[in-house]
Amino acid sequence: MTGRTRDARPIAAAPHMVWAVLFIIAPLIFVAVYSFRGADGGFSFENFAALGDYTDAFVRSASYSLIATVICLVIGYPLAYAISLCSPRAQRVLIMMVMLPMWINFLIRTYAIMKLLEDTGFINGTLQKIFGEDFELHMINTPGAVIFGMVYDYLPYMVLPIYTVLSKIDPKLGEAAADLGCSKVQTLFRVTLPLSVSGVVSGITMVFVPSISTFYISQKLGGGQYLLIGDAIETAFASTSTYSVGAAMSLVLMVIVLISTFVMNRFDKDSSKGGVVV
């Protein structure tokens, strides 16, 4: 690398650094400052003391997001594995189909789910044609509807990183395992699964983080009956009297997300030290 190229690197990185300072670092600093700002404008922990009223929201958000993450993993890994076994052309088509819902606006997708799950929606209408008009399956405004919305919206974030890792695994490893007497199931669990742990960890992180902080899904699919921490933060920021409480909740949620990410990254590093299970 020449001296002129090294001199150009800080200049090329300057726009990104300015963007990061203005729209990432500065907002985080403002959130931290307001979190410790009392009613009199001085330093105080009173905003964090008020978070006890939102314990149920924190627990509900964590439990719903954990359930949604597990469901996404159970669905996403077999789907990603099946796609990775297809021909290259079929893989491109199938991955595009997985990504296609992400091209649609988040609000439109949520409203579409509402129309599917509501009492007079498509699913109930179809079931009534099959089982009679008296049949009705109440799905909307339930915890299941909220979790279903999370799974629908964030499933691609589980499939894509797992598929990326699986598609890069050398097929010769599977052939070698077969030559050594492993069945297809044994090859999956002893070779493929250990080598794809990094994709699984990335998928879990990419699903859990947005799920625990989501707010619009619970409002529309839960009918506002199941307060999540994202809903509480939105409501707190809507009023100047509770703005600092909202900042404190945001800071706590940020810490939870960072801890979760750190733990998952550590798990990913530890697992990468291993290898194929023999």
Residue 101 is assigned to a structural domain of this protein: yes
Cβ(196)–Cβ(169) below 8 Å: yes
Write down the mean pLDDT value for the chain: 88
Q: What does the pLDDT read at residue 4?
A: 55
Question: Is the per-residue pLDDT at 2 higher than 60?
Answer: no
pLDDT of amino acid 46 = 92
- Predicted model pTM: 0.87
114 band by pLDDT with thresholds 50, 70 and 90:
very high
Given this model, what pLDDT does residue 151 score? 96
For the segment 249-268, the average pLDDT, to the nearest whole number, is: 86
Higher pLDDT, 240 or 48: 48
- The Cα 246–Cα 233 span in angstroms is 5
User: What's the domain range around 139?
Assistant: 36-272
Give me the percent of the chain exceeding a pLDDT of 90. 58
Cα–Cα separations (whole angstroms), residue 32 to 37, 45, 46, 247, 248? 9, 12, 14, 7, 7
Q: Is residue 245 within 8 Å of 51, Cβ to Cβ?
A: yes
Phi and psi, residue 226, nearest 5°: -125, 95
In a domain, 277, yes or no: no
pLDDT of 106 above 60: yes
Residue that is written with structure tokens 């922990």 in the block: 45
Task: Give yes or no for residue 52 having a pLDDT over 60.
Answer: yes
pLDDT given for residue 277 in this prediction: 44
Average pLDDT value for residue range 107-113? 91
Q: Look at residue 29 and tell me if it is in a domain.
A: no
Give the sign of the dihedral formed by CA 162, CA 168, CA 169, CA 171.
Answer: positive
Q: Is the pLDDT of residue 178 over 80?
A: yes
The pLDDT confidence band at residue 9, using thresholds 50, 70 and 90, is confident
| Cβ-proximal residues to 28 (8 Å cutoff; 6+ apart), any chain | 254
Residue 88 belongs to a domain: yes
Residue 122's pLDDT is: 87
pLDDT of 1 above 60: no
d(CA 203, CA 133): 41
Q: What confidence score (pLDDT) does residue 274 get? A: 47
Residue 144 lies in a domain: yes
Contact partners, residue 21, CB within 8 Å, separation at least 6:
none
Q: What is the pLDDT of residue 157?
A: 95
**Total domain count, the chain:** 1
Q: Does 156 or 12 have the greater pLDDT score? A: 156
Residue with tokens 């879990």: 204
CATH at residue 92: 1.10.3720.10
Q: Give the 3-state secondary structure of residue 39.
A: coil
For residue 3, tell me if it sits in a domain. Answer: no
Give start and end residues of each alpha helix (H) in the chain.
3-20, 26-35, 46-49, 55-84, 88-99, 106-117, 122-131, 143-167, 171-179, 184-187, 193-195, 197-212, 216-221, 229-237, 243-272
Name the token pair of 88: 């290259």
pLDDT tens for residues 203-244?
A: 999 999 999 999 889 999 998 899 999 999 999 998 888 989
Cα–Cα distance for residue pair 252/104, rounded to 1 Å: 31
Distances 45 to 114, 153, 229 between C-alpha atoms, Å: 40, 36, 19
Tell whether 17 is covered by a domain. Answer: no
How confident is the model at residue 153, as a pLDDT?
Answer: 93
Tokens of 90: 């079929």
Average pLDDT, stretch 195-209? Answer: 93
Please check whether residue 22 lies inside any domain of the structure. no
Q: Is the pLDDT of residue 7 over 80?
A: no
